[in-house]
């Protein structure tokens, strides 16, 4: 196998690992819709219940129910809070029953649970209530570069880790991993955070947002790896360590322990 073919194979391997990581993170995150099926009156009803919504409107949670004999209701309350549950009927629009979850300020969360019923049956779509978080609208010029550049950073990180294993040159890969991580995570990341939740940074020491914290950890590891490789090209172990740490932290679901309004701290008149 010549050098070019070997390089292509290694890049394809890095791409596959990166794509698998992105898909896993996306599918397991707390903002990924909850999907499932429920059966009522011998009819299977598929649902997709959202867990994230951009202002400035009430969040429409739609369930396709063609049978007009089936109606729906939902309960909701802010979380975390001391609120009592509020119950409302779902609105029918064509073949859909819609629950309109009252809008909240950015980072405000609401728990809700949907029930379908007819004359004889009542079926809860989910065993436990679902939490939806409201956010501000993020402009395309902010979130598109963020997503693309972070993906490139993850790809470069993985390729650098493979290069370290194979004892290839790692300085350029380490440098570009750090650059893309800074641009995508530490520049466009806070811009997105500001638009979505009103804060530039909610990781340590300001808060517990794992997305911000894991970006900071990856940056520190890659910055140190770059210094070590710059001083001595044989310090590939630090590059491998940074790549492994980056892979592990990016497997953590996106938006875990993210920004939220604590309604229990409201001042009662």
At 22, is the pLDDT very low, low, confident or very high (cuts 50, 70, 90)? confident
Same domain for 25 and 145: yes
Residue 151 has pLDDT above 90, yes or no: yes
Asked whether residue 223 is domain-assigned, the answer is yes
What are the pLDDT digits (tens) for 31-54?
889 999 999 878 899 999 999 999
Residue 144 has pLDDT above 70, yes or no: yes
Asked whether residue 103 is domain-assigned, the answer is yes
* pLDDT given for residue 131 in this prediction: 95
Give the total number of structural domains in the chain. 2
- In angstroms, the first-to-last Cα distance of the chain is 75
User: DSSP class of residue 67?
Assistant: -
Same domain for 41 and 103: yes
Asked whether residue 268 is domain-assigned, the answer is no
CATH number, position 96: 2.60.40.10
Helix (H) or strand (E) holding 16: helix 3-28
How far is residue 213 CA from its own chain's centroid? Answer: 14
Domain extent, residue 22, equals 3-29+138-263
At 268, is the pLDDT very low, low, confident or very high (cuts 50, 70, 90)? very low
**For residue 27, what are the contacts with CB-CB under 8 A and spacing of at least 6?**
none
Domain boundary among 87, 120, 135: 135
Domain boundary among 110, 135, 160: 135
Token pair for 74: 């939902």
Domain boundary among 73, 102, 135: 135
Asked whether residue 210 is domain-assigned, the answer is yes
């Amino acid at each position: 196998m010549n050098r070019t073919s070997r390089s292509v194979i290694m890049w394809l391997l890095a791409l596959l690992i990166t794509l698998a990581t992105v898909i896993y993170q996306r599918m397991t995150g707390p903002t990924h819709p909850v999907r499932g099926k429920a059966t009522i009156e011998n009819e299977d009803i598929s649902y997709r219940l959202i867990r994230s919504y951009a202002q400035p409107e009430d969040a429409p949670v739609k369930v396709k129910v063609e049978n007009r004999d089936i109606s729906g209701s939902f309960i909701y309350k802010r979380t975390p809070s001391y609120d009592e549950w509020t119950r409302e009927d779902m609105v029918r629009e064509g073949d859909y029953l819609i629950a309109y979850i009252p809008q909240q300020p950015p980072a405000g969360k609401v728990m809700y649970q949907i029930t379908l019923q007819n004359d004889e049956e009542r079926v809860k779509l989910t065993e436990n209530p679902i939490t939806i978080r409201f956010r501000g609208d993020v402009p395309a010029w902010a979130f598109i570069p963020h997503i693309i550049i972070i993906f490139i950073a993850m790809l470069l990180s993985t390729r650098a880790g493979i290069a370290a294993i194979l004892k290839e040159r790692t300085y350029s890969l380490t440098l570009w991993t750090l650059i893309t991580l800074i641009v995508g995570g530490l520049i466009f990341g806070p811009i997105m955070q500001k638009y979505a939740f009103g804060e530039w940074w909610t990781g340590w020491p300001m808060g517990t947002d794992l997305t911000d914290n894991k970006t900071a950890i990856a940056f520190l590891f890659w910055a140190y790896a770059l210094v070590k490789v710059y001083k001595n090209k044989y310090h590939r172990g630090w590059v491998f360590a940074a790549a492994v740490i980056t892979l592990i932290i990016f497997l953590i679901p996106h938006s875990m322990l993210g920004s939220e309004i604590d309604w229990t701290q409201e001042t009662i008149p």
